[in-house]
Amino acid sequence: MRTMIRLMTALLAISTMAAEPAIVPKTVEMTVNAGSFTFTANTTISGSRELGNEATYLANLINKPTGFLLKGLPEIKQHPADVQLEIDSSLAGLGPEAYTLSVTPRSIVLKGASPAGVFRGIQTIRLLLPPQIESRTKVAGIACDVPDVEIKDYPRFAWRGLMLDVSRHFFAKEEVKKLLDAMALQKMSTFHWHLVDDNGWRIEIKKYPKLTQEGAWRKEIGFGLDPKSSTTYGPDGRYGGFYTQDDIREVVAYAAALHITVIPEIEMPGHAGAVLSVYPEFSCEGKKLSTDMGAGVHASVYCAGNDDAFTFVQNVLTEVFALFPGKYVHIGGDEVPKGNWKKCPKCQERIKAEGLKGEHELQSYFIRRIEKFVNANGKTLIGWSEIREGGLAKNAALMDWIGGAVEGASDGHDVVMSPTSHCYLDYAQGKHGEPRSIGGFVPLKKVYDFEPIPAKLKPEFQKHILGAQGNLWTEYIASPGHMEYMAFPRGCAIAEDTWTPAKEKNYEDFRARLANIFAHFDVMGVNYRKLTEEPKPLAGWKSGETKETFAPQTWDISSQIKDAGKYEVAFQYTGGTCRLDIEWATLLVNGKEVARDTHAGQTGASTKNNVYKLKLDAPVAGAKYELQASIRSDGGTDSNGDITVQFVK
């Protein structure tokens, strides 16, 4: 009898459970029951004094689309509110962003280990609500129902981020805020702001006004882009822009309210073209460089033998420290050209005076000297993989884009993972119909399959992996819509890679849950790449198979040709040191040409016009169909890639 009762109870519980809501990133634990809580004009929301920001955020989230006038009220134990926000110190062992969420038809109780944990829970409520909740104006008939759930959730990693390069192309503060809103929806914690580089200086520095008066602008858009692909032109026609210090404070405060930490990046000692274009006295040559796309810009480097250059950098950082309250300051340190240092008498004297073993140790000297200044101001230095050259500074953290994570973490340094193989969101994410990109191929599944803990890192050092981020360099991304298209949904995959336990991840389930994120994005006006099924490669090329001069190559594509109509052939670089250039492509039927597309295309460091359109008027039974193309690898034969064929109609 007891067994029968237990069985009936279990069956009743199963029958009352609803389908699991689509949350990205996937929660650690979730139980779903029948029923829901409904926000009304009379719903009360309470929170302790330290949760005032969170209570107000939730109230505003409901008020805008409903027209309600809900407010976050002080916590009253005698008469609990309908929606209760609380701090629960027992969750602290799961980290400061841990939270529990209990929803019944009568109440919502959200508890967090800290205000950040409560805020992450509010994002879950946000995704449990209908997508119209994102509307900034009143929506007629909206039903603010939250499913009856029990959730326990916490992140796997603390650093869950995106990086945006605003040097190549400037993005206005409102466009940055919109990106932050999309990041918050997915519980991301870190926004890495790449503020300066060769092609533009974007942050006002009071002591050096020419940095933004001149260094923030250039004559043209550059990078071979259509001038109309961006609107960031000044009244005098110059291309660019910058953030005033008040703009910076506004964005940092906006991010802080979303519990997102902003990490500024001030590049040094290389990528200094924007500085040296207006302050050439800090270069080795003393010669003015240009922020336009001239040949000299990428050779730009501070003179490591000039104490005035260090004084300049320290003065800049002093103003940066005052604007960004976070722990970390990123100093770049990547792709430092050593040629100028080899020819510079001051740099060679520095090497001799400090007992250094050449220019690699001179780079380390530069980083270590700056790190002492950073540490003395209560900050921690972080830089790209190359700051390990010549020896990693004592207290520095490492951002791995081309290696060094295992070595750095094993030596006790904290590491953020952002390898090109999985985390470069400026790389192509599809093979057909994609906008121009810088090269490489990083589709959504590859990002989702990323494991932040390096396989060779011993367990005792894994605590030094802080998390991961997606990097969005913008050489070929000049508009906010294009930026969002490249960021999402791959940024959603980064969010789940860094929040959800590895054992709970499932790509097909993730793809299905993206529909809810996309519905919210649609109302928010966030652009994103739609999910598509990519055709599998039919052929390709490998290192050593191509020549440095154009020559025809032929591939059998019979398995893909079924019907009359138009076919698109895409050449997609996947690796190697050389890009592939394409002159023309033809379709052969039993060795006879039936269609041709002649135009210059390329795929590699820059990918453009890499799709060729071929039309088959009538299929031939039992025929051998071949693709023939005139191709070459540029500057060598180390090039690899895939060829896909897709039937259009």
Q: Is residue 293's pLDDT more than 60?
A: no
**Are the CB atoms for 287 and 280 separated by under 8 Å?**
yes
pLDDT value of residue 295: 36
The strand order across the sheet containing 539-541 reads 539-541, 639-647, 565-576, 611-616
State the amino acid at position 269 in one-letter form. Answer: P
pLDDT of residue 296: 41
**550 and 497, same structural domain?**
no
Clarify whether residues 144 and 163 are in a common domain: no
For the chain, the domain total comes to 3
Q: Is residue 30 part of a domain?
A: yes
Q: Which of 130, 153, 176 is the last residue of a domain?
A: 153
Domain with residue 29: its CATH number is 3.30.379.10
Cα angle vertex 181, ends 140, 325, to 5°?
145
- What one-character DSSP code corresponds to residue 20? P
Higher pLDDT, 8 or 642: 642
Q: What is the pLDDT of residues 155-195, one digit of tens each?
A: 999 999 999 999 999 999 999 999 999 999 999 999 999 99
Specify the pLDDT at position 419.
98
The CATH number covering residue 567 comes to 2.60.120
- pLDDT (mean) for 475-483: 97
Q: Same structural domain for residues 75 and 172? A: no
d(CA 405, CA 402): 9
> In angstroms, rounded to a whole number, what is the distance separating the alpha carbons of residues 518 and 541?
36
pLDDT of 12 above 80: no
Q: Are 69 and 56 in contact (CB under 8 A)?
A: no
**Mean residue pLDDT across the chain:** 93
Same domain, 478 and 572: no
Q: Decide if pLDDT at 294 tops 50.
A: no
Confidence of residue 124 (pLDDT cuts 50, 70, 90): very high
Of the CA atoms within 13 Å of residue 598, those in its CB half-sphere come to 1
Kindly report, residue by residue over 572-599, the tens digit of the pLDDT: 998 899 999 999 999 999 999 999 999 9
Q: What is the pLDDT of residues 341-374, one digit of tens each?
A: 999 999 999 999 999 999 999 999 999 999 999 9
Domain annotation covers residue 3: no
Catalytic positions are: 197, 271, 335
Cross-strand pairs, 191: 162, 262
Would the pLDDT of 2 be above 50? no
**Kind plus residue range of the DSSP H or E element containing 416:** strand 415-417
Looking at the domain assignment, is residue 125 inside a domain? yes
Report if residue 73 sits inside a domain. Answer: yes
Core vs surface per residue 346-358: b (16+ CB within 10 A) or e: ebbebbeeeebee
Beta strand 580-589 pairing with 415-417: unpaired
- Which pLDDT band holds residue 299 (cuts at 50, 70, 90)? low
Question: Are residues 219 and 304 both part of a single domain?
Answer: yes
Distances (CA, A) of 423 to 332, 441, 470: 17, 11, 5
Nearest-angstrom CA–CA distance, 489 and 517: 9
Q: Are residues 622 and 497 in the same domain?
A: no
Average pLDDT over residues 316-321: 98
Q: State residue 18's pLDDT score.
A: 58
Q: How confident is the model at residue 314 (pLDDT cuts 50, 70, 90)?
A: very high
> Residue 70 — pLDDT band, cuts 50, 70, 90?
very high
pLDDT band at 333 (very low <50, low <70, confident <90, very high): very high
Spatial distance between the Cα atoms of 149 and 31, rounded to a whole number of angstroms? 6
624 in any annotated domain: yes
* 268 and 410 together in one domain: yes
DSSP letter string, 428-442? BS-SSSPPPBSS-B-
SS3 (DSSP) at 388: helix
Residue 52 has pLDDT above 70, yes or no: yes
Q: What is the pLDDT of residue 575?
A: 86
Structural domain containing residue 203 = 159-524
Whether 230 has a pLDDT exceeding 50, the answer reads yes
pLDDT value for 78: 64
**Cβ proximity of 43 and 82 under 8 Å:** yes
Q: By percentage, how much of the chain surpasses pLDDT 90?
A: 86
* 327 assigned to some structural domain: yes
395 and 413 housed in the same domain: yes
Domain stop point among 120, 153, 186 = 153
39 and 85 belong to one structural domain: yes
Residue found by looking up tokens 């001038």 in the block = 227
**Residue with tokens 């006006």, as numbered in its chain:** 525
The answer on 213 and 125 residing in a single domain is: no
In 233-381, which ranges are continuous DSSP H helix?
Answer: 245-257, 273-276, 307-323, 339-343, 345-353, 359-376
Which among 573, 501, 502, 505 has a CA at the least distance from the CA of 541?
Answer: 573
pLDDT over 90 at 307, yes or no? yes
- CATH code: domain of residue 316: 3.20.20.80
For 516-546, the pLDDT digits (tens) are: 999 999 999 999 999 988 788 999 999 999 9
Q: 355 and 500 share a domain?
A: yes
- Tell me, yes or no, whether 5 lies in a domain: no
Nearest CA to 327 out of 380, 276, 371 is that of 380
Q: What is the pTM of this model?
A: 0.91
Q: What's the rounded mean pLDDT across residues 125-144?
A: 97
Which pLDDT value is given to residue 41?
97
Residue given tokens 């652009």 in the structure block: 527
pLDDT band for 14, please (50, 70, 90 cuts).
Answer: very low
Residue 77 pLDDT > 50, yes or no? Answer: yes
Out of 153, 170, 199, a domain closes at 153
Whether residue 512 is found in the same domain as residue 612? no
Q: Binning pLDDT at 50, 70 and 90, where does residue 292 land?
A: low
The model's confidence at residue 9, banded by pLDDT at 50, 70 and 90, is: very low
Residues, the chain:
649
| 421-446 per-position pLDDT tens digit | 999 999 999 988 899 999 889 999 99
DSSP per-residue codes, 58-81: HHHHHHHHH-----EEEP-SSS--
Q: How distant, in Å, are the alpha carbons of 193, 217, 219, 620 from that of 204?
A: 14, 13, 20, 66
Interval 317-333 mean pLDDT: 98
